[in-house]
Amino acid sequence: MEKYDLGLAYCWEYDTEFLAQVEYTLQKAGLSTFIISDHNIEEVAERVQDKDLLFRFYLDRAWDVNEDYEQLGKALARRRTIIFNPYKKVLHAIDKATMHLEFITHGINTPYSIIIPPKAESDDIYLSLSDLAILGRPFIIKPCNTTGGGIGVVTGAESLEEIISERDVYHEDKYIIQEKVYPAMMDGRRAWFRCFWAFGRPIPAWWDDQTHMYEILTDEQLKHYKLRKLFSLTKKIADITGLDFFSTEIVYTTKEMFVAVDYLNDQCDMRMQRNHFDGVPDVIVEQIIENLRKTIIRLKAKYRLH
């Protein structure tokens, strides 16, 4: 049987630079890697089924697009491969309605929100004038399970008619209606942060929700603006979800409180800033990969994986 330390599955063309960096870093450390994509997914699935190929660890960035990858991941799990971001945990974590309640239960501030049942379950919704008054205008409409890149999200809704109309778009999905949160300003920057949880460690960064551009968050800024809570909040979300790798959006608001506004993104866009103006800063990508490397080495030793 042929064994590799890490299987890396992808089907998005812009993942190639990230995965090339992963391979470079891991192979330099003496770890073996294997890329799985549309060109070889069937062959890999057959080899795994025949017990001719095995991965000690598996990072799947394609299962939400093509179920063939999910089936491969499940087959690998039966072979005791360690799956980063296990599918069952992801499905629980990406439901915005579920996470909203989980966050509140665990003391994480969230925007005032109203959860609306799927149109497929009930044509009627019940919203009082006081509900709409608390939401304010404009407000945000989000499908609870249709995720990624702001798909289906309306950020400037003004009326009940818009809620009714949006329910028709993903009629089998719940919707969450949220008040719009306004960030404080810190030396000309919007106090909006994208915080990565990367294989055991939080990595916060400035992220502008209007331009989608990142900036490195320095130690001096963390201290000056008293932003260390970003670390503990991100870790708390990791503890709630049990995921290995995700990002969340946290805002320090004009009301002087930290609020989680976009609860969890399990398939982080890892385009690098050196090639994309709105990409992740290279140093953060490298830190994420370094955390992955350390995790694999630690777990290999812990479980005596040879």
Beta bridge partners of 185: 190
Q: For 11-55, write each residue's pLDDT tens digit.
A: 999 999 999 999 999 999 999 999 999 999 999 999 999 999 999
* Coil, strand or helix at 12: coil
Residue 276's pLDDT is 97
Judged against a pLDDT cut of 60, whether residue 123 lies above it is answered with yes
Cite the DSSP H helix spans in the chain: 16-28, 41-49, 67-78, 87-93, 96-105, 129-135, 160-167, 219-224, 229-241, 282-302
Contact criterion met (CB below 8 Å) for 55 and 4: yes
| Span of 103-117, 148-162, 202-216, 233-247 with lowest mean pLDDT | 148-162
- Collapse the DSSP code of 202 into the 3-class scheme (helix H, G, I; strand E, B; otherwise coil) and give the result: strand
State which fold the 112-179 domain adopts. Answer: Dna Ligase; domain 1 (3.30.1490)
pLDDT at residue number 145: 83
Higher pLDDT, 246 or 145: 246
pTM of the model: 0.93
Lowest mean pLDDT among 2-11, 118-127, 143-152, 182-191: 143-152
Q: Could you tell me the maximum CA-CA distance found in the chain, to the nearest angstrom?
A: 65
What residue spans define the domains of the chain? 2-85+289-302, 112-179, 183-265
Instruction: Give the per-residue pLDDT at 150.
Output: 62
| pLDDT on residue 125 | 83
Q: What percent of the chain has pLDDT over 90?
A: 80
Question: What is the per-residue pLDDT for 10?
Answer: 98
Confidence band of 149 (pLDDT split at 50, 70, 90): low
Confidence check: pLDDT of 148 > 60: no
Confidence label for 253 from pLDDT (cuts 50, 70 and 90): very high
Q: What is the mean pLDDT of the chain?
A: 94
Same fold, 2-85+289-302 and 112-179: no
CATH 1.25.40 fits 2-85+289-302, yes or no: no
